[in-house]
Amino acid sequence: MMSKKLFIETLGCAMNVRDSEHMIAELNAHEGYELTDKADEADLILVNTCSVRERPVHKLFSELGVFNKLKKEGAKIGVCGCTASHLGKDIIKRAPYVNFVLGARNVSKITDVLHRDKAVEIEIDYDESQFAFKDFRTSPYKAYINISIGCDKQCTFCIVPKTRGDEISIPPELIIAEVQKAADGGAKEIFLLGQNVNNYGRRFSGNEEKVNFTELLRRVSAVEGVERIRFTSPHPLHMDDEFIEEFARNPKICKSMHMPLQSGSSEILKAMKRGYTKEWFLNRAAKLRELVPNVSISTDIIVAFPGESEADFEDTLDVMRQVRFEQVFSFKYSPRPLTEAEGFTNTVDSEIGSHRLSTLQAYQDTILDSISASLLGQEVDVYFEELRSDGYVAGRSDNNVLVKVKGSEEWLGQTARVRIIDVSRSVQYGEIVA
Ligand code: 5AD
Ligand code: SF4
């Protein structure tokens, strides 16, 4: 019998990437689906959506229309992820050919909704924290592992707590078992995932041993075969000294930290309900740079949040000047339904917002140019995980510099010392020295 084929498109964050892996594994183990990269050959088309900003939500419906036209006779279309959670049955109202809607917190039900036409499963109090998903990993070299589901914060701009629900930590022993399985399978790099990883241990669904994120990091790093640990996303508010010190001390933890700033103005941070001030953020970043001189720090920034004055925006640029982030993901504020800020009336003119965004990006480019120039001639250890079609293999240094080297698949899964010989803002070129 020919196997059934699954086409899956994954938008949004690393959490969605892992959710897609979970669904692929469940569909393979229980329903015999194999992956295809051609939507017109698929028996099932899944779109794993993101709703953090408005634009991708608009794009979703035009995309669904395209899939509906090109899909083969009898093929099903399912909408999963955060927009599924947010819009629920309205998706089927607007696109009646969609067969089912499966929320970001309900991915374990994929093989169930598949057989219930027009099923909508989007409860956000559903507990998947101990569900035993079957196994599938996109990369044999790097394993994404969830440590919690949901988010307990109430940032006023963010829809995620409404799509992924309250935060529940996955029991430490289940995480360690997953890490061991991944390491036994050859993944030297472990990527721990949660909406707010350093809040780990806040709430378990059962009577689990109370373990915090710092302790979890220690346990993960003790697992045989694990060489590198990364995680995303931590919250600046929960970056206590113990956590930063463990980050600095533990040689298996990669020296790259995501610190989502959102705004450099204490006033705006208050309106965003981020729980920290400009000074706190600067203090944490300085501590990190002091204890880990080669750390690379990335961030997320929103411009033109309601009420943001020119002086507030200057504060954001000031934090960028002081911290000199190695990577900045910047966005113009996009009002989202179900969020507190949606009701704020002191909105910033859209053109001013666009102007601030381009000012910020141009400023960051000047910082990046000087950071990348300083990389020239340096030697870094690169863990190769990706074969590029142009005769290069690509990987990242411990502190997250993306490096390409001429070479073939023999380098995949290997770590090598590389000298940087040519630089640009986003990717560096190197040659292997040992
Ligand atoms: N508008 C613009 N950007 C947003 N983000 C989250 N919500 C919004 C919004 N309403 C950004 C934040 C977050 C990143 C994943 O997306 O910077 O860290
Ligand atoms: Fe998008 Fe946020 Fe959902 Fe991730 S958690 S898919 S970023 S809305």
User: 26 alpha carbon to ligand 2 midpoint, in Å?
Assistant: 21
Atom in ligand 2 nearest the alpha carbon of residue 82: 3
This prediction has a pTM of 0.96
User: 334 alpha carbon to ligand 1 midpoint, in Å?
Assistant: 8
| Distance, CA of 109 to CA of 114 (rounded, Å) | 9
Displacement of CA 363 from its chain's centroid (Å): 25
pLDDT score for 313: 98
Pick the CATH number of 137-254 from 3.40.50.280, 3.40.50.720, 2.170.120.20, 3.30.750.210: 3.30.750.210
User: 392 alpha carbon to ligand 2 midpoint, in Å?
Assistant: 31
Per-residue pLDDT of the chain (434 residues; tens, 9 = 90+): 578 999 999 999 999 999 999 999 999 999 999 999 999 999 999 999 999 999 888 899 999 999 999 999 999 999 999 999 999 999 999 999 999 999 999 999 999 999 999 999 999 999 999 999 999 999 999 999 999 999 999 999 999 999 999 999 999 999 999 999 999 999 999 999 999 999 999 999 988 788 999 999 999 999 999 999 999 999 999 999 999 999 999 999 999 999 999 999 999 999 999 999 999 999 999 999 999 999 999 999 999 999 999 999 999 999 999 999 999 999 999 999 999 999 999 999 999 999 999 999 999 999 999 999 999 999 999 999 999 989 999 999 999 999 999 999 999 999 999 999 999 998 999 999 97
Atom in ligand 2 nearest the alpha carbon of residue 16: 6
User: 360 alpha carbon to ligand 1 midpoint, in Å?
Assistant: 16
User: 137 alpha carbon to ligand 1 midpoint, in Å?
Assistant: 27
- Which residue intervals of the chain bear CATH 3.40.50.12160? 4-121
Measuring from each residue's beta carbon to the nearest atom of ligand 1, which residues come in under 6 Å?
A: 52-53, 157-158, 260, 262, 300, 302, 331, 333-334, 336
| Distance, CA of 231 to CA of 341 (rounded, Å) | 28
Q: Which amino acid is at 18?
A: R
Atom in ligand 2 nearest the alpha carbon of residue 52: 8
| Distance, CA of 115 to CA of 73 (rounded, Å) | 17
| Distance, CA of 193 to CA of 149 (rounded, Å) | 9
Q: Please choose from 55, 331, 342 the residue to mutate so as to test ligand 1's pocket, defined by most ligand atoms within 8 A of CB.
A: 331
Q: Which amino acid is at 245?
A: E
| Phi, psi (deg, nearest 5) at residue 403 | -125, 135
User: 433 alpha carbon to ligand 2 midpoint, in Å?
Assistant: 40
Q: Please choose from 163, 233, 336 the residue to mutate so as to test ligand 2's pocket, defined by most ligand atoms within 8 A of CB.
A: 163
- Which residue intervals of the chain bear CATH 3.30.750.210? 137-254
User: 115 alpha carbon to ligand 1 midpoint, in Å?
Assistant: 35
What residue's CA is closest to ligand 2, atom 1? 50
What residue's CA is closest to ligand 1, atom 5? 52
| Distance, CA of 402 to CA of 429 (rounded, Å) | 9
Are the C-beta atoms of 219 and 178 separated by less than 8 Å?
Answer: no
- Which residue intervals of the chain bear CATH 3.30.750.200? 258-374
Q: In what side-by-side order are the strands of the sheet with 256-258?
A: 256-258, 296-303, 327-332
pLDDT score for 212: 96
What residue's CA is closest to ligand 1, atom 17? 300
Q: Please choose from 9, 15, 331 the residue to mutate so as to test ligand 2's pocket, defined by most ligand atoms within 8 A of CB.
A: 15
Atom in ligand 1 nearest the alpha carbon of residue 336: 10
Atom in ligand 2 nearest the alpha carbon of residue 15: 4
Q: Which residue has tokens 């390409």? A: 404
pLDDT score for 1: 57
Atom in ligand 1 nearest the alpha carbon of residue 300: 17
Q: Please choose from 11, 157, 268 the residue to mutate so as to test ligand 1's pocket, defined by most ligand atoms within 8 A of CB.
A: 157
**Pairing mode, strands 4-10 and 44-49:** parallel
- C-alpha dist (Å) from residue 374 to 324, 379, 418, 426: 13, 12, 15, 14
User: 278 alpha carbon to ligand 2 midpoint, in Å?
Assistant: 25
| Distance, CA of 407 to CA of 154 (rounded, Å) | 47
Q: Please choose from 18, 149, 160, 164 the residue to mutate so as to test ligand 2's pocket, defined by most ligand atoms within 8 A of CB.
A: 160
Domain 258-374 class, CATH top level: alpha beta
Atom in ligand 1 nearest the alpha carbon of residue 159: 7
User: 331 alpha carbon to ligand 1 midpoint, in Å?
Assistant: 7
Are the C-beta atoms of 53 and 331 separated by less than 8 Å?
Answer: yes
Specify the fold of 4-121: Rossmann fold (3.40.50)
Measuring from each residue's beta carbon to the nearest atom of ligand 2, which residues come in under 6 Å?
A: 12-13, 15-16, 50-52, 81-82, 104, 160, 163-164
Q: Which amino acid is at 198?
A: N
Residue 138's beta-bridge partner residues? Answer: none
Atom in ligand 1 nearest the alpha carbon of residue 339: 10
CATH number of 379-432: 2.40.50.140
